[in-house]
Amino acid sequence: MNVIETSIPGVLIVETDVFGDHRGFFTETYNKPKYEAMGITNDFVQDNMSFSAQKGTLRGLHWQNPPYAQAKLVSCSKGKVIDVAVDIRKGSPTFGKWVSVELSAENHRQFYIPRGFAHGFLTLTDDVEFRYKCDNVYHKAAEGGMRYDAPEVNVDWGALLAGIEPVLSEKDTTGPTLADSNNQFVYGENC
Please give the positions annotated as active site: 62, 132
Backbone angles phi, psi at 30, to 5 degrees: -165, 135
Burial class (CB in 10 A: 0-12, 13-18, 19+), 129: middle
Contact status, residue 183 vs residue 150, Cβ threshold 8 Å: no
Please measure the distance between the N-terminal and C-terminal CA atoms of the chain and give it in whole angstroms: 26
C-alpha to C-alpha distance for 167 and 48, rounded to whole angstroms: 21
Q: Taking the alpha carbons of 8, 172, 157, 161 in that order, is the dihedral positive or negative?
A: positive
- Helix ranges (H only) for the chain are 32-37, 157-161, 170-174
- Residue 66, SS3? coil
Contact status, residue 101 vs residue 13, Cβ threshold 8 Å: yes
Contact status, residue 146 vs residue 177, Cβ threshold 8 Å: yes
